[in-house]
């Protein structure tokens, strides 16, 4: 259990109405036994599960009582426990408004509008903690090793961070002793409707990358493939309004060698950063043709015969059908960024509040939604590795240079960050010893050394 580490474990929060703990008639008394009038991480988790149970049984009165207690704990500018609780409370209110709207008198409409970032602001955002940079660093190093000896490289980039990974790779190609290869990067015209949001189009991002590559004397081409022309123009700004009609099935139908302009003389790289989770993992039937979108995507890219496939994501299983299971796992995982930000940013820091707001966006989707609307369907590194092997891929190890580069990156951040190696050559970012993000590299069976 990780609750003992959350939010400076010795901190507890006093309730304004501790009599709730002592009233034998209160349905909360059993849930709060042992909390003794104050709430630590374990008691908050217990409350969240109690509220989830009430909602699953359509008990609006009990749900309101639990939310009242949680509301006394929650604060967007408090300690990590209080801040994390704020976002869980918002998610539960949102879910409650759907399940038993007439019984609820909480205001669940106070959604924080998320700002579209500039490219410069996004660069600062991904540098706050190594949550994204860890994957960039490990992936780029694996890609550089895989493309050695090739004069032409094509990267299919499936990610949510608007190509922030690639300036570092371009830099690394530029300083190679041999002439740098020509580099093509292709991205889909739209992305999952999740933060971070950017205030410029894909094309503008590509233009900036092109200018940087030209400055570094790396031959470069940037392409945007429009997988569904009827949905919206590829030049649309990638904001929170973009693409709640993002159709993954349409994307898969357009992932063809012709559409992607794949060429035999190029080394093909598939880059998946925090992406696979948004492809549904639900199978449609029992036949191969009825496989999940996630498996269908892997089958498709394997058919392209890439020289490497890199997959990076958060190391937690948030795909359970049970709401209680998702709450437990989510609460015991997403305390990590809240705790990490506490080590170096003030409680009222706008940077911190915005970063946590984006995590709150994820929490709301995990807790408040079901069915096709619940797009946050993260699987752990162990689960992903098994899926890759089932799809016909073999893992490839990260070299010692990669390990050194990742360690150097982590030295720039708080001492709580670490790295470890796990099965299937997986690298895992840790915070206080707990898994945070995994990075893996794969090749189609038969291509490994």
Mean pLDDT, to the nearest integer, of 128-151? 97
Contacts 24+ apart (CB under 8 A), 257-266: 257/304, 259/225, 259/227, 260/156, 260/186, 260/225, 260/304, 261/186, 261/223, 262/154, 262/304, 263/152, 263/154, 265/151, 265/152, 266/150, 266/152, 266/153, 266/154, 266/184
Q: What is the per-residue pLDDT across 366-394, written as a single tens digit (0 to 9) for each?
A: 999 999 899 999 999 999 999 999 999 99
pTM of the model: 0.89
Question: Looking at per-residue confidence, does 229 or 126 come out higher?
Answer: 126
Q: Whole-angstrom Cα distance, residue 91 to residue 336?
A: 19
Does 181 score more than 60 pLDDT?
yes
Does 298 score more than 50 pLDDT?
yes
With a CB cutoff of 8 Å and minimum separation 6, the contacts of 41 are 3, 4, 6, 7, 9, 81, 335
Mean pLDDT, to the nearest integer, of 340-353? 95
Does 22 score more than 50 pLDDT?
no
Does 244 score more than 70 pLDDT?
no
Q: What is the CA radius of gyration of the chain?
A: 23
Element containing residue 145 per DSSP (H, E)? helix 133-146
pLDDT score for 29: 59
String of DSSP letters for 58-125: T-HHHHHHHHHHHHHH--TTS-HHHHHHHHHHHHHHHHHHHHSGGG--S----PPPPPPBPHHHHHHH
Give 353's pLDDT tier (boundaries 50, 70, 90). Answer: very high
Element containing residue 439 per DSSP (H, E)? strand 434-444
Element containing residue 401 per DSSP (H, E)? helix 400-411
Give 246's pLDDT tier (boundaries 50, 70, 90). Answer: low
Using a pLDDT cut of 90, give the percent of the chain over it. Answer: 71
Pair 393, 440: CB distance under 8 Å: no
Give 239's pLDDT tier (boundaries 50, 70, 90). Answer: very low
């Amino acid at each position: 259990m990780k609750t003992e580490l959350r939010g400076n474990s010795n901190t507890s929060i006093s309730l304004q109405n501790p009599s709730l703990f002592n009233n034998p008639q209160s349905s909360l008394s059993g849930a709060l036994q042992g909390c003794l009038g104050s709430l630590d991480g374990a008691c908050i988790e217990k409350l969240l599960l109690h509220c989830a149970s009430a909602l699953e049984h359509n008990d609006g009165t009990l749900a309101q009582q639990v939310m009242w207690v949680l509301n006394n704990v929650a604060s967007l500018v408090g300690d990590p426990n209080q801040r994390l609780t704020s976002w869980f409370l918002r998610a539960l209110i949102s879910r409650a408004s759907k399940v038993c709207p007439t019984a609820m008198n909480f205001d669940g409409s106070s959604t924080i509008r998320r700002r579209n970032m500039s490219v410069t602001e996004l660069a600062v955002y991904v540098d706050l903690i190594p949550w994204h940079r860890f994957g960039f660093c490990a992936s780029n190093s694996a890609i550089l090793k895989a493309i050695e000896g090739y004069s032409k490289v094509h990267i299919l980039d499936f990610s949510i961070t608007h190509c922030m990974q690639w300036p570092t790779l371009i830099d690394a190609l530029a300083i190679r002793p041999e002439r740098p290869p020509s580099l093509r990067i292709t991205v889909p015209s739209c992305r999952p409707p999740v933060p971070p949001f950017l205030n410029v189009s894909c094309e503008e991002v590509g233009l900036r990358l092109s200018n940087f590559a030209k400055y570094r004397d790396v031959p470069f081409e940037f392409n945007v493939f429009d997988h569904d022309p009827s949905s919206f123009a590829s030049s649309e700004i990638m904001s929170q309004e973009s693409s709640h009609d993002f159709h993954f099935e349409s994307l898969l139908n357009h992932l063809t060698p012709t559409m992607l302009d794949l060429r035999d003389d190029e080394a093909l790289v598939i880059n998946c950063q925090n992406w696979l989770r948004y492809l549904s993992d639900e199978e449609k039937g029992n036949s191969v043709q009825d496989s999940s979108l996630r498996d269908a995507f892997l089958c498709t890219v394997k058919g392209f015969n890439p020289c490497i496939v890199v997959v990076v994501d958060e190391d937690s299983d948030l795909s359970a059908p049970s709401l209680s299971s998702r709450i437990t796992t989510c609460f015991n995982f997403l305390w990590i960024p809240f705790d990490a930000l506490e080590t170096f940013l003030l409680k009222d820091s706008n940077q911190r509040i915005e970063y946590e707001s984006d995590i709150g966006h994820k929490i709301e989707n995990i807790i408040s939604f079901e069915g096709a609307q619940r797009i946050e369907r993260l699987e752990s590194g162990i689960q992903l590795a098994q899926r890759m092997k089932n799809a016909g891929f073999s893992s490839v190890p990260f070299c010692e240079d990669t390990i050194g580069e990742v360690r150097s990156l982590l030295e720039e951040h708080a001492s709580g960050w670490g790295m470890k190696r796990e099965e299937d050559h997986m690298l895992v970012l840790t915070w206080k010893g707990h898994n945070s993000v995994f990075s893996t590299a794969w090749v189609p069976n038969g291509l490994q050394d």
